[in-house]
């Protein structure tokens, strides 16, 4: 078992875990987590400096999440553009390909909370159906792997998917949307980078929202990807109490 997998096994994710680690009300945590799964791995947990800080706000379950139940479950209207369960085809020449429902840390602001953490929403059959859909649509030149977090898959499983995509002549670009360099940088290993290098051009879009997330570990993870010839982009979500401040964003 690799280090990142060992860390995952030690995550805070049940109501009992949250009550033990944080001293919060177990029944309240259970009420939230039953609706929206939670997971904070030990690395990301170590970045919390105090209750309610910018790291805490991103990962800690909040009762206010249940107040959103009357809001649209699918705010980006992805399911309406989903010809098969694992594919969102919004733009003519590119698709979003969901390859896992799992994340190493469940962001409380996720727009895909209806799916993440639920393994029944993304299965091996759905992945194969996604590959077949892409193969049968020659207008698709750009594939974005997402989920959940694609890097929750093992190197072996991830390579099977990427290899299959690379064998489709009209697929030019493969992008991986992953939060791992930020929330569990131990996942970025030499073996992973060596595998990805075989299938260029590969791009990685990662997801840092606050300067405290930039640590020696996350810096090393991004450098390893860049040194493997992978352009690394960042998408930042504007979040109240986290980065809705020009000086914080400037530092980030």
Q: Please say whether the dihedral angle defined by the alpha carbons of residues 40, 43, 47 and 48, taken in this order, is positive or negative.
A: positive
Geometric angle at alpha carbon 17, from 45 and 122, rounded to 5°: 80
- 107 among the known binding-site residues? yes
Q: Which residues contact 92 (CB under 8 A, 6 or more apart)?
A: 139
Compute, in degrees rounded to 10, the torsion defined by CA atoms 143, 195, 213, 145: 20
Q: 170 by DSSP, 3-state: which?
A: coil
- 222 among the known binding-site residues? no
Give the integer Cα–Cα distance in Å for 205 and 83.
Answer: 24
DSSP for residue 186: G
- 103 among the known binding-site residues? yes
DSSP for residue 108: T
Nearest to 128, CA basis, from 94, 86, 174: 86
CB atoms within 10 A of CB 94: 17
Nearest to 177, CA basis, from 202, 156, 200: 202
Geometric angle at alpha carbon 26, from 117 and 36, rounded to 5°: 20
Q: Which residues are annotated as a binding site for [4Fe-4S] cluster?
A: 103, 107, 110
Binding site: which residues? 103, 107, 110
């Amino acid at each position: 078992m690799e280090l990142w997998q060992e860390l995952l096994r030690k995550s805070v994710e049940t109501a009992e875990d949250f009550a033990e680690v944080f001293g919060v009300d177990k029944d309240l945590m259970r009420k939230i987590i039953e609706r929206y799964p939670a997971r904070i791995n030990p690395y990301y947990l170590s970045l919390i400096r105090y209750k309610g800080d910018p790291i805490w706000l991103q990962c800690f379950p909040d009762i206010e999440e249940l107040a959103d139940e009357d809001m649209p479950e699918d705010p980006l209207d992805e399911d309406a553009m989903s010809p098969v369960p694992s594919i969102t085809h919004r733009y003519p020449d590119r698709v979003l390909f969901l390859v896992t429902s799992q994340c190493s840390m469940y962001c409380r602001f996720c727009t895909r909370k209806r799916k993440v953490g639920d393994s029944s929403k993304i299965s091996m059959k759905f992945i194969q159906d996604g590959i077949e859909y892409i193969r049968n649509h020659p207008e698709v030149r750009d594939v974005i792997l997402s989920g959940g977090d694609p890097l929750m898959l093992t190197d072996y499983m991830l390579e099977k998917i990427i290899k299959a995509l690379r064998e489709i002549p009209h697929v030019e670009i493969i992008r991986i949307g992953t939060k791992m360099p930020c929330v569990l940088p131990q996942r970025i290993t030499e073996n992973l980078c060596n595998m990805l290098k075989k299938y260029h051009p590969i791009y990685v879009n990662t997801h840092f929202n606050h300067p405290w997330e930039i640590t020696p570990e996350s810096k090393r993870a991004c450098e390893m990807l860049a040194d493997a010839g992978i352009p690394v982009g960042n998408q930042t979500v504007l979040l109240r109490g986290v980065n809705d401040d020009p000086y914080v964003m400037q530092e980030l």
